[in-house]
Homo-oligomer: A and B are copies of this chain.
Amino acid sequence: MPKGTLTRDEVLDTAAGLVKRHGPQALTMRGLAAELGTAVTSIYWHVGGREALLDALVERTVAGLGEIRPAGGTPEQRVVSVACALRRQLRDHPHLVALVHERGLTERMFLPAQQVLVREARAAGLRGARAAEFVRAVQFQVVGHVLVERNRERAPVQSPGEEELWSAETTGADPALARALARPVDTERLFVTSVRALVGALLTPSGT
């Protein structure tokens, strides 16, 4: 329900709704114009072309993501909680992940957790380049996991008949292993295990 004059925010709002409902590939300039009740070319005047529109949507969504607060007693617990919170945020906005990928703005998904992670890294005793590497490792881990998760969900019934591949031979006569590999992945559990392992190892340096 647009008022008399078209606004940049109005355009972004309707665009966001369209993406939220049907994904970024469903966001067409012509479709958006129809939804807005204007000519296609008006969109160009207010926000520019499609790429500029997507970029604006990404910025908008990231900005609206709400702060992440660490929870837990030990530094390790706190960092893990941040990782889980970031994953949850991203999973709660699947369209954001899709948008970000279409525009190559992965970096933006790092932002919500960035400062908190820096703080926690220092609280855990890390300094300088080591602290920076720790922050990056967690960011890559979380965002990478979410990207893989999201991508898998788009391909239903993937690699069928894989159970056959896991014969006694390749699994070394370990039927429990064969069964586990045939089952769908419990991504939630896998995520927590991985993050815990990574964070634990990086926070308790044994060598160097």
Where the two chains meet, the residues of A that have a C-beta atom closer than 8 Å to any C-beta of B are: 100-101, 103-108, 115, 118-119, 122, 127-129, 131-133, 135-137, 140-141, 143-145, 147-148, 151-155, 158-159, 166, 170-172, 174, 176-177, 180-181, 185, 189-190, 193-194, 196-198, 200-202
Closest 9 CB pairs of A and B: A144-B144, A104-B154, A128-B176, A132-B180, A197-B201, A104-B155, A106-B151, A201-B201, A129-B180
Q: Are B198 and A197 in contact (CB under 8 A)?
A: yes
Residue in B128, B133, B181, B189 whose beta carbon sits within 8 Å of that of A190 in the complex: B133
Q: Are A132 and B177 in contact (CB under 8 A)?
A: yes
Q: Are B190 and A137 in contact (CB under 8 A)?
A: yes
Q: Are A140 and B129 in contact (CB under 8 A)?
A: no
In the complex, what's the smallest C-beta–C-beta distance from A141 to chain B, in angstroms?
Answer: 7
Q: Are A185 and B101 in contact (CB under 8 A)?
A: no
**A106 contacts across to B, CB distance below 8 A:** 148, 151-152, 155
Residue in B128, B151, B180 whose beta carbon sits within 8 Å of that of A101 in the complex: B151
Whether A131 touches B194, Cβ cut-off 8 Å, given contacts A122-B174, A136-B185, A143-B148, is no
